[in-house]
Amino acid sequence: MKRCKRRLLLVVFVAVFMLAGGAFDRARCGERVRAKVGIQIRSGDRVLRAKTRDRLHAGDLLRIYVHPEHSSYVYVVHSDGTRAALLNTVEQGMQSSTLVMPSLQEYYQVDGKSSTECFTILCSPKALPEVNTLFQDGQVPHEEWTALAEALSKRGRICLTQEQGENRPFAIAGNVRGAGGASIGDPFSRELQVFSGESLLMKQYTFRVVP
């Protein structure tokens, strides 16, 4: 029963997005959401900055960084191609903060059981209750998440390139959230790229896991 209810809610949300999308874009035309986003990969003795499509090996370690330019709601979703989960169910409202997941002392580890590891970072000036509703019972089928992600991407008219030219970098200031109280002395955080989107920023990483 819970799954049927969730699917019904998802269909309703997608329909609302499609009907209201044009009005939403007109009302918020020109409003840009910017954030510094990056994923650090530790593979053996190497420390790398992840590209949008990269290769991973079993045992590799990952750490996610998100720093919105202005107060925003941040959502980080992971999918292995079969199931999807919202990683930050608590740390969502951000004010002059850098979100580091799982923390500055820890990493996510690639177990090698899946051929694909996908991470989606969402930044929005307003809360996205449809995301929390989808994941209210925990993990969901990958297809349910991709349906919502597609609706959100149409709403956001995404720009997935590094900000250049007139869109100058902005400074990282404030506290680190999800970092166990550590200071923002991590060099990687100072080298994050700036990404932007119209009214909503969505940045996706799709990693292929190889032996």
User: Quick one: CA torsion of 134, 137, 142, 147, rounded to 10 degrees?
Assistant: -10
The pLDDT of residue 23: 40
**What is the per-residue burial (b if ≥16 Cβ within 10 Å, else e) of 66-91?**
bbbbeebbbbbbbbbeeebebbbeeb
Q: What's the rounded Cα separation, in Å, for the pair 34 and 163? A: 9
The pTM of this model reads: 0.76
The pLDDT of residue 187: 82
Which pLDDT tens digit goes with each residue over 74-125?
999 999 999 999 999 877 887 778 899 999 999 999 999 999 999 999 999 9
* Cis, bond preceding 102 (omega within 30 deg of 0): yes
The pLDDT of residue 184: 52
CA angle 125, 206, 112 (to 5 degrees): 125
Q: What residues contact residue 62 under an 8 Å CB cut-off, 6+ apart? A: 39, 40, 41, 42, 50, 56, 107, 108, 109, 110, 119
Q: What's the rounded Cα separation, in Å, for the pair 21 and 124? A: 15
163 DSSP 8-state letter:
-
The dihedrals phi and psi of 168, each to the nearest 5 degrees, come to -75, 155
The pLDDT of residue 144: 97
What are the average pLDDT values for consecutive 10-residue runs of the chain, which has 211 residues?
51 46 42 91 94 94 94 95 92 81 93 95 94 95 96 70 46 46 65 89 95 80
Would you say 88 and 178 are in contact if contact means Cβ atoms under 8 Å apart? yes
Q: Which residues make beta-bridge pairs with 53?
A: 206
The pLDDT of residue 186: 75
The pLDDT of residue 61: 97
